[in-house]
Structure 1
Amino acid sequence: MFKKLICLTLMLFSGVTFANVIIPEVSEGQLDVKKNFSSKYVKSRFLNIWLPPGYSKTRKYDVLYMHDGRMLFDAKTTWNKQEWQVDEVAAKLIQSGKVKPFIVVGIPNAVENRHSEYFPQKVFESLAKQKQANLYELERYPGQKLFYSKVYSDNYARFVVEEVIPFIENNYSVNKGFEHRYIAGSSMGGLISWYTLLQYPNEFAGAICMSTHWPGIFTYDKQVFTAFKQYISDNIGKLTTQKIYFDYGDGTLDSMYPDLQKQIDNVFMQHGYPTSLWQSQYFPGATHAEVDWAKRLQIPLEFMFRANTQAL
């Protein structure tokens, strides 16, 4: 059973894709695809930009930037035939008036470089040189390195902040400014979400980190997790009004998370971070899969985008 779990995890973390990418279809709203979005920091890729039903240039929208952008909208186009159902969940919340209207920018991962792109770089570099060397020797499966290249998540964060955000704000009818931008992801995408928030606290109003992969690699490593915890403790003081959401289950890969997430929660409590600005939710039985993230996606979306009740 354990070997099967590891195999499933390897597939999930690999960001498997196909040579000919099929453009996703959405059942709510509309999807703009920006092909060959070039960058001076990372490899070029496409962007999936979801616009809610009734999108109009006469009004302004907040923006949610989401990692692993291939997995968000259409199960027919994903490697595991699962999706986050972002269009359905977001549209329902917007149409009910529970949240402010927002658009979603899906940023695809770098496939074989996903680990190198999403692992928090300054945390990695805080480890002893020999430890870094050992991590670089880890294999995803025989003959395939876990870290396909050196960790470069600082460049990925710069790509989001300095290139993706300006493109969106110059080409779509969105509210500008940090108080209208949010970032989200799961698993390794959860790591890069809180890391980007701490790297750029003046660029985002909040981060959604679902089933955050606190081990960082495929097994628990005390040195790695301690480095994550220490980095957050050292940098949490940068946050003021920013919201942050964590959650986790206890099935499949999520079975590794309950104790680790509780330790991260303790960091927030010890620093006295306002309880109105952060959440950590446990979902017994939930697994490490898009179908489970879809089931509870409305919770962090409401937390981040909750409508002003006076305006309802």
Structure 2
Amino acid sequence: MMKKLLLNFLLFTTLGSYAQENLNFNKQKEITSPEINTDRSVTFRLDAPQAKKVELQGDLLAAPGTAAMKKQADGVWTYTTTTLKPELYSYSFIVDGLKIRDANNVYQIRDVASVVNVLIVGSGKADNYLVANVPHGTVAKRWYNSPGNGMERRITIYTPPGYESGKTKYPVLYLLHGMGGDEEAWAALGRTPQILDNLIATGKAKPMIVVMPNGNVAQQAAPGEDAKGYYKPTMQLPHTMDGKMEETFPDIIKFVESNYRVNAKPSQRAIAGLSMGGFHSLHTSRFYPKTFDYVGLFSPAIMPFGKTESPVYADVDASLKNQFNNGLKLYWIGIGKTDFLYQAVADYRKKLDGMGAKYTYVESEGGHTWSNWRDYLVLFAPQLFK
């Protein structure tokens, strides 16, 4: 018995010493970065005493999007911004030409093949992105069978507060990402769960289910989440804009309407997307003209038609007229003034105007950015299912 107690004591003291040793080994300067100041400026810090040049890079800076940081006597480099508008911002450090993340900021998001640090400067519109003391919905990552693509695929689904404990049937918004994105994009970069929680809690939007599929039909799921394992993500994948996504969209609807309490009527279905997802929303809603009464095009990629043999892109003008003649409740288009797709959207609006089609148009500042797309979701969701 004494021998066993002695053995346990030695094991405990050895593990304790090992933990303490590692704690001391990893001990670093206590640094706060980023630090949001009372005037809504932000101070960034990086401990790099041997570095010769350190820069801050991010969407919180004016063009060209980089700023030199200043080395302090203790080897910590610092930079303080001007007062920032309320927003979710992303940033990185560049140390002697090497792009790195902020080791003092655990909040990171993957955007296609890049990982960036993020922060939220609150108040104003940014309050839509924050977790508030309101009832919360549930975010689930589900797998569904897609016969049209010959594989099991993953999808992200938001259900509103009270879904699990109730019997109510809900309307559905199908929300599509842009090129290089996946089923994680709208939940992470778009802050969709927080936005919907807050809009629903304040009565600005009706409780709804939000379905966020992977628009890259060559993928089972987001990088690292399928049978391919870990690989470097790329921006453009096979079959992203050749009609395959639109053709197989009924697989998604079938899964949702078979597994969730939904009101399966066109008046209770909406589809919207950003960039490539706007392209998919435009053509899916047109190809299945009696399926969605609400359509949202956020900085949509309006590409030339006829590049593939897919039936999705046949008779575009005639099918658009047919879609609008079916009595759409809302056809919503948003674009930034400096977006590289601005002219393409202007040309598309001329086509709609020539048809006498009624639509809502919002023109915002800025370009092809998540800042705009989050704003568009905040504007679009309250107009649904009236």
Q: 1:206 aligns with which of 294, 298, 309?
A: 294
CA RMSD of aligned residues (A): 3.4
- Alignment of 1:29 with 2:137, yes or no, is yes
**Quick one: distance in 2 between partners of 1:211 and 1:53?**
30
Q: 1:180 aligns with which of 244, 247, 268?
A: 268
**Is the contact between residue 15 and residue 109 of structure 1 (CA under 8 Å) also seen in structure 2?**
no
Q: Which residue of 2 aligns with 1:94?
A: 200
**What SS is found at the alignment partner of 2:360?**
strand
Q: Which residue of 2 aligns with 1:156?
A: 245
* 1:99-141 Cα distance to aligned partner (Å, 9 max, x none): 3221101102328779xxxxxxxxxxxxxxxxxxxxxxxxxxx
Counterpart amino acid of residue 159 in structure 2 = L
Counterpart amino acid of residue 145 in structure 2 = S
**Quick one: distance in 1 between partners of 2:196 and 2:305?**
37
5+ long unaligned stretches in structure 1: 3-13, 19-25, 75-82, 115-143, 307-312
* 1:164-222 Cα distance to aligned partner (Å, 9 max, x none): 212211221111122211111100110110100100011111221101122x3xxxx79
**Quick one: distance in 1 between partners of 2:240 and 2:352?**
30
Q: 1:41 aligns with which of 148, 162, 168?
A: 148
Q: Which has the higher helix share?
A: 1
**Is the contact between residue 50 and residue 105 of structure 1 (CA under 8 Å) also seen in structure 2?**
yes
**Quick one: distance in 2 between partners of 1:52 and 1:39?**
25
- Alignment of 1:58 with 2:167, yes or no, is yes
**Is the contact between residue 184 and residue 207 of structure 1 (CA under 8 Å) also seen in structure 2?**
yes
Q: Equivalences for 1:277-292 in 2 at 5 Å?
A: 278-284=359-365, 286-292=366-372
Q: Report how far residue 292 of structure 1 moved.
A: 2.5
**Is the contact between residue 113 and residue 149 of structure 1 (CA under 8 Å) also seen in structure 2?**
no
Change (3 A) 1:265 1:229: farther
**What SS is found at the alignment partner of 2:374?**
helix
> Aligned residues, how many?
234
**Is the contact between residue 34 and residue 46 of structure 1 (CA under 8 Å) also seen in structure 2?**
yes
**What SS is found at the alignment partner of 2:384?**
helix
Counterpart amino acid of residue 265 in structure 1 = R
**Quick one: distance in 1 between partners of 2:263 and 2:240?**
35
**Is the contact between residue 169 and residue 263 of structure 2 (CA under 8 Å) also seen in structure 1?**
yes
Q: 1:294 aligns with which of 371, 374, 383?
A: 374
Larger deviation: 103-112 or 44-53? 103-112
5+ long unaligned stretches in structure 2: 1-62, 65-110, 116-129, 178-182, 221-233
Q: Report how far residue 29 of structure 1 moved.
A: 1.2
Q: Which has the higher strand share?
A: 2
Q: How many percent identity over aligned positions?
A: 22
Question: What is the TM-score normalised by the length of structure 2?
Answer: 0.53
Q: Which residue of 2 aligns with 1:266?
A: 350
**Quick one: distance in 2 between partners of 1:176 and 1:184?**
17
**Quick one: distance in 1 between partners of 2:314 and 2:382?**
29
**What SS is found at the alignment partner of 2:380?**
helix
Q: Report how far residue 146 of structure 1 moved.
A: 5.2
**Quick one: distance in 1 between partners of 2:241 and 2:148?**
13
Counterpart amino acid of residue 380 in structure 2 = P
**Is the contact between residue 174 and residue 210 of structure 2 (CA under 8 Å) also seen in structure 1?**
yes
**Larger CA Rg, structure 1 vs 2:** 2
